[in-house]
Amino acid sequence: MDRPRRSPVWLATDVACVLVFCALGRRSHDEGLNVAGIATTAWPFLSGTALGWLATRAWRRPTAVYPTGVVVWLCTVAVGMLLRKATSAGVAASFIVVASSVTALLLLGWRALAQPRRRAKLWNGRA
């Protein structure tokens, strides 16, 4: 079980994943990689990430792919898209597909990678 004091590290990992997604998107569209631009792109998705953390109480099992990771990912995308739509930002179908795919890879990927390490530590008696 993850210790509560490590939860800020895992939350920071999710935040970093969302920021990477936003930075990659801005770069691929030649929108510039400055702090203000990334923040403008990221805030709707980070709001969803925060909601996902609260909804799942992610601090209890932050590295769990299911349900924590799945709910955080779904909230990140759904809330992000709803807030983008509410603020007249783009929500084209192709963007939803790309955003869903990339954020799934990032938010679920690090959790999936964390699982074998945890099993290896338990197997070797280093819990």
AA letter at 48: G
Residue 69 above 80 pLDDT?
yes
Q: Please determine, for residue 120, whether its predicted confidence score (pLDDT) is greater than 70.
A: no
What pLDDT does 2 receive? 45
Alpha helices in the chain (DSSP H): 7-28, 35-56, 70-86, 93-123
Share the mean pLDDT of the chain. 90
User: Is the confidence at residue 125, as pLDDT, over 80?
Assistant: no
Q: Give the pLDDT confidence of 87-105 residue by residue, as tens digits.
A: 999 899 999 999 999 999 9
What would the mean pLDDT of 10-26 be, rounded to a whole number? 97
Place of tokens 């702090």: 35
DSSP 3-state assignment of 6? helix
Where residue 32 falls among pLDDT bands split at 50, 70, 90? confident
Q: Would you give the end-to-end CA distance of the chain in angstroms? A: 9
Nearest CA to 7 out of 15, 77, 75 is that of 15
Which tokens hold the place of 49? Answer: 């990430």
Residue ranges per structural domain of the chain: 4-123
The structure tokens listed for 68 are 């924590």
Q: Is the pLDDT of residue 122 over 70?
A: no
Rounded Cα–Cα distance for residues 70 and 74 (Å): 6
